[in-house]
A and B are shown apart, each in its own frame.
Chain A
Amino acid sequence: MSTPRYLLVLIRDDRTPTLSAAALGTMTGRLVAWVAALRRWRLLHAVAVGEDSGPVRACVLVTATDLAAARGLAASCPAPVLVLPILGEAG
């Protein structure tokens, strides 16, 4: 049985456009560190970047042992995240 996968949907924060240049840089750095950690732990399978002005910033496909573990990964993200279980994969 294969390890379950989860889609982490990074939601755009309404306050982001009002942040200072330094605050935006800090948040970018934290997200870079978060994604790099997922990659280093071999949990990251795929990424997708959303539209510039849409409600979704990006999606990250990860491996996790169960929903609680996926939610743990989401909680470590510096941006708001929704966790969606992948129910089945074609082929």
Chain B
Amino acid sequence: MSYSEPEVLADTFRAEWPRLVAAAMRLLGDLQSAEDVVQDALISALDRWPLSGVPANPAAWLMTACRNRALNRIRDERRARDRDRALLPLWQPEPAEVPQIADDRLRLVFICCHPVLPADSQVALTLRMIGGLSTVDIARAWHVPEATMAQRLVRAKRTLAEARVPFEEPAGHELTQRLPAVLDVIYLIFNEGYLARGGDGLTRPDLAAEAHRLARLLTDLLPAEPEAWALRALIALQRSRDAARTDASGNLITLEHQDRTRWDQALIDEGLGALARTGGDAPLVLQARLAGCHATAPTFADTDWAAIVGCYDALLAQTPTPVVALNRAVAVAMADGPQVALPLLDALIEDRALARSHRVFAVRADLLRRLGDTDRAAEDYDRALALVDNDVERRYLTDARTRIKEH
């Protein structure tokens, strides 16, 4: 028995969860029943494996346990005679390697991100059904009461049942139409973890890791989709900097001052490998290329800022949002100097969408500081501090403001 058996079994249960839910869903036809059956099977394993020994093929054991419970449930509902005959031939009890099971997981992903559901429910359902997270975990990550999250999940499952959403993988153009929603949901989960909006963000790294796991799963399921690879690349490359983003006290370290030897080379390799499988100039692909430029730069000064500005130009042409324009202005400041970027920032501050964002004032404060205009820089740091709601960023801005006063 290896010392790390708990972790190995945790990974097994977690990895098998979406396959089991998807397979049970195919048999039972609704998400709530499928989830109940899978939870029962895992609890049965918890009871039996310690005493009878872990089976040689845990995935097959769990799949069989789910099948038996699902069939019992059907019999209990007194529909045994008709449905058993109709459904038994559809059931494939063999484990993961069977390609049909992979299709089941893909169907489940598309059901969780179905357009009939609001975005917050898509996110919650994806974390529950694909990630196997408990309702308590999801509620904690989203800072809402457990009862609220439980209600959201129940409502989402009911909506899908009432809308009679079929358990099938969207075909052809439908897949192309609905894939962006799936990518959006996973990216939203990642951003929630990576940017840590509000609070001290203690549970957030788990959320970023979960989004990464989902992105990897998506490239397994849809290996021909460049945007799925772009999402995986983007997440891997951004996560590669995790250890260098804060110091021992949890204070934020900007890209410029990060110790690049602390970047995770394995994640950079994964990200660059995924980036090589992308193509075209979809927004996610462009964002992944931007992350790739940073990951491959030996130092901050040696970054290919002209290439980064070029990526932002292309991104801005497709998604002309104030946030993209703000990031482009930062890149322009690096490529051509703060004096060139300053008018771009002045224009952005007039934008209503950014008026409540601390980032635009923090960026302009930094440009003014570099130009030696410390009075105006201090004013902008004060505005940024009045708007920021993340503890780590607040500490960073406070420190920057203090240093200005000292000089």
Residues of chain A having any CB pair with chain B under 8 Å: 16-36, 47, 49-50, 52, 57-58, 60
Contacts and interface: CB of A to CB of B under 8 A. Distances in A.
B187 interface: no
A21 B42 contact: yes
A33 B1 contact: yes
Contacts of B9: 25-26, 28-29, 32
Contacts of A24: 13, 42-43, 45-46
Given A31-B49, A32-B49, 14 more contacts: A16-B46, A18-B134, A18-B135, A20-B132, A21-B132, A24-B43, A26-B9, A27-B46, A32-B5, A32-B54, A33-B1, A33-B5, A33-B6, A58-B51
A32 B3 CA distance: 11
Most buried by A among B12, B43, B48, B137: B43
If over half of B's interface residues share one DSSP class (helix, strand or loop), that class is named, otherwise mixed; here it is helix
Contacts of B48: 49
Most buried by A among B7, B42, B50, B134: B50
25 contacts: A18-B134, A20-B14, A21-B14, A23-B10, A23-B134, A24-B13, A24-B42, A24-B46, A25-B6, A25-B10, A25-B42, A26-B6, A27-B6, A28-B9, A28-B45, A29-B7, A29-B8, A30-B6, A32-B49, A49-B52, A57-B46, A57-B47, A58-B47, A58-B51, A60-B51
B217 to A, nearest CB: 14
B224 interface: no
Interface of B: 1, 5-14, 16-17, 39-40, 42-52, 54, 132-137
B363 to A, nearest CB: 39
A21 B18 CA distance: 10
Contacts of B10: 22-23, 25-26, 29
Contacts of B132: 20-22
A20 B134 contact: yes
B127 to A, nearest CB: 10
Most buried by B among A18, A21, A26: A21
A34 B49 CA distance: 12
Contacts of B11: 22, 25
A28 B47 CA distance: 8
Contacts of A57: 46-47
Contacts of A50: 47
A52 B46 CA distance: 10
Nearest to A59: B51
Contacts of A16: 43, 46
Contact of B133 (A17, A20, A49): A20
A27 B50 CA distance: 10
Contacts of A47: 51
B8 A52 contact: no
B137 A35 contact: no
Contacts of A23: 10, 134
A11 B166 CA distance: 41
B46 A28 contact: yes
Nearest to B39: A17
Contact of B50 (A17, A18, A22, A35): A35
A36 B39 CA distance: 25
A30 B7 CA distance: 9
Nearest to B1: A36
